[in-house]
Amino acid sequence: MNDNNSKNQALNKPIDKQKKVDRRVKRTKKLIRDSLSELMMEKDYKEITVKDITERADLNRGTFYLHYSDTYDLLEKVENELIDNLEDIIDNYDIKSKITSSFSIIDYVFEHFKENDKICRALFIKSPNNSYTEKLIKVIVDKGLEIKEALKVKYSEEELSYRFYFIACGLIGLIRKWFLEKDKISKEDFIKTTDKILLEYIKSI
Amino acid sequence: MNDNNSKNQALNKPIDKQKKVDRRVKRTKKLIRDSLSELMMEKDYKEITVKDITERADLNRGTFYLHYSDTYDLLEKVENELIDNLEDIIDNYDIKSKITSSFSIIDYVFEHFKENDKICRALFIKSPNNSYTEKLIKVIVDKGLEIKEALKVKYSEEELSYRFYFIACGLIGLIRKWFLEKDKISKEDFIKTTDKILLEYIKSI
DNA sequence: CCTTTTATTATACATAGTGTTGATTTTTTA
DNA sequence: TAAAAAATCAACACTATGTATAATAAAAGG
């Protein structure tokens, strides 16, 4: 919440106290994260151990605990980074003009997936307690509400938020379904169908 | 899949080999299940151990393994029983007439929750990998497709299934949201709002 | 009611993962 | 190049897992 704007992190901290991250830390975190991505493609999250992660990353098991308290802590931090990335993508588009013509939020979500393919796919499908999905939904709802006035709808903020929540869950559900059976339909066809559904709904609001 | 019709289980097995379930087994399974419900209200599923469950149920730890291979096996079996219960509820209503006037599937889902309050609530909110939610969605989509012709819509089966999936995810998402912040809005108000949203969408199909 | 069958208990066991610690080595920073 | 920081290594106590066996308790079925 207070560490968005990850691209201008200078704004968040006192200028003089800008922590330069040690190369080794960067390397270690990247190795752990990559290792996690791979493992999540191979087995259920609950079966992944710290030993699994560090062995594959060729790190000492103890090193893991220098950065994360356990595998769930790791997952949460990775998820939060990804959500920051999605918010950056959305903020870098002219969202107001686009979203009114069609609910093109779907494009941003796909852009986000494209930029973080492996880990996103894994998290999206397998994140425990659905935490990643929940965060995605929150971003969509919030960004929708931000352009409330541009939509010129008749509903109160509360009523509108229910509708956005409904749309967001439906959309994320469809994308998730598509991920699970990706061989059956091309991305283009999927987007076409989904856009149509969303449009129909947006019109009905 | 092949053990639906749980109310007429005589049909599934040879008549002569009808296994009467030992009282002790029934008791043990109920104790385990109740214990699980309680624990899931208190902490994350991943933190619940076999020892936790059996201690609270006042059973020997080994007894657990006579019935379930691990906690995830337990969860899956409980989920499947619940889904059977939901399907029974839906089948016992005159679904075709009801669903065409309004998408009253929401009533069935609530009925289902009412009948299995504690465990449903826990599973719904915390089931890992979202498996319970996914099963709920599948039931809604399947039941929707069953009355396809009654709806007299213009879409092909495939297109319709996408729309039902969208609705199901949206609906389940809303209910889930309501569960998480239940103090804020009464059940009646929630149903009223949700019904309105669903109706708007159904009309647009 | 009595016998047979079955479920549960008690106990022990090997295995594996967890999270922490302290001393040592390696790498980076400045 | 010296100081600081990070990663390694080995060891630790602890806890949960899943299995196995003999003993006990309870239910089923005649």
Which pLDDT band holds residue B202 (cuts at 50, 70, 90)? confident
Query: Which residues, other chains included, contact A71 with Cβ-Cβ below 8 Å and sequence gap of 6+?
Result: A45, A48, A49, A50, A53
Q: Does B168 map to a domain?
A: yes
Contact B144, B105 (CB under 8 A): yes
Instruction: Let me know whether B159 and B96 are in one domain.
Output: yes
Q: Where are the alpha helices (DSSP H) in chain B?
A: 23-42, 50-57, 61-65, 71-91, 95-101, 105-115, 117-126, 131-146, 148-151, 157-180, 187-204
What is the rounded average pLDDT of the residues A106-134? 84
Instruction: Let me know whether A161 and A197 are in one domain.
Output: yes
| Mutation to test the B interface, candidates A136, A179, A197, A203, most B Cβ within 10 Å | A197
CA atom of B62 to C1′ atom of C15, Å: 17
Q: What is the CATH number of the domain that holds A24?
A: 1.10.10.60
How many Cβ atoms are within 10 Å of A37's Cβ, its own excluded?
A: 18
- pLDDT tens digits for range B132-146: 999 999 998 988 888
Protein-nucleic contacts, chain B 68-87 to strand D, CB < 7 Å: 69-71
User: B26 is in which domain, residue-wise?
Assistant: 21-68
Residue type, B170: G
Which pLDDT band holds residue A98 (cuts at 50, 70, 90)? low
Indicate whether A3 pLDDT > 50. no
Q: What is the C-alpha separation between B89 and B108, in angstroms, rounded?
A: 7
Q: Does B97 map to a domain?
A: yes
- pLDDT tens digits for range B20-77: 899 999 999 999 999 999 999 999 888 999 999 999 999 999 999 999 999 999 999 9
Indicate whether A11 pLDDT > 50. no
- Of chain A, the percentage scoring pLDDT greater than 70 comes to 83
Q: Does A31 map to a domain?
A: yes
Q: Does A11 map to a domain?
A: no
A62 touches strand D (CB under 7 A): yes
CA atom of B71 to C1′ atom of D26, Å: 26
Q: Does A108 map to a domain?
A: yes
- For residue B42, what pLDDT is reported? 92
Contact flag B166-A129 (C-beta cutoff 8 Å): no
Compute the nearest-CA separation of A22 from chain B (Å): 33
Q: What is the C-alpha separation between B112 and B136, in angstroms, rounded?
A: 11
Instruction: Let me know whether B141 and B164 are in one domain.
Output: yes
Residue A202 sits at the chain B interface (C-beta within 8 Å): no
Instruction: Let me know whether B104 and B49 are in one domain.
Output: no
Residue A150 sits at the chain B interface (C-beta within 8 Å): no
Instruction: Let me know whether A64 and A150 are in one domain.
Output: no
CA atom of B66 to C1′ atom of D20, Å: 13
CA atom of A27 to C1′ atom of D3, Å: 22
Instruction: Let me know whether A177 and A105 are in one domain.
Output: yes
**Total structural domains within chain A:** 2
The nearest alpha carbon in chain A to B173 belongs to A169
Instruction: Let me know whether B58 and B129 are in one domain.
Output: no
> Which one of A126, A194, A200 has the shortest CB-CB distance to B204?
A200
How many Cβ atoms are within 10 Å of A102's Cβ, its own excluded?
A: 14
The nearest alpha carbon in chain A to B133 belongs to A130
Which nucleotides of strand D come closer than 7 angstroms to any CB of the protein?
Answer: 5-11, 15-21, 26-29
- Tokens 């060729």 appear where? A58
Instruction: Let me know whether B143 and B190 are in one domain.
Output: yes
Instruction: Let me know whether A48 and A102 are in one domain.
Output: no
Instruction: Let me know whether A87 and A138 are in one domain.
Output: yes
A43 touches strand C (CB under 7 A): no
- For residue B19, what pLDDT is reported? 66
Residue A154 sits at the chain B interface (C-beta within 8 Å): no
Instruction: Let me know whether B98 and B177 are in one domain.
Output: yes
Instruction: Let me know whether B122 and B197 are in one domain.
Output: yes
Q: What is the C-alpha separation between A133 and A171, in angstroms, rounded?
A: 11
Give the residue with greater pLDDT, A8 vs B143.
B143
Compute the nearest-CA separation of A123 from chain B (Å): 10
Residue A161 sits at the chain B interface (C-beta within 8 Å): no
Residue A59 sits at the chain B interface (C-beta within 8 Å): no
The nearest alpha carbon in chain A to B163 belongs to A197
Q: What is the C-alpha separation between B125 and B132, in angstroms, rounded?
A: 9
B18 touches strand D (CB under 7 A): no
Q: What is the C-alpha separation between B203 and B198, in angstroms, rounded?
A: 9
> Which one of A133, A165, A173 has the shortest CB-CB distance to B137?
A173
Indicate whether A54 pLDDT > 60. yes
Residue type, A24: R
Q: pTM of the prediction? A: 0.85
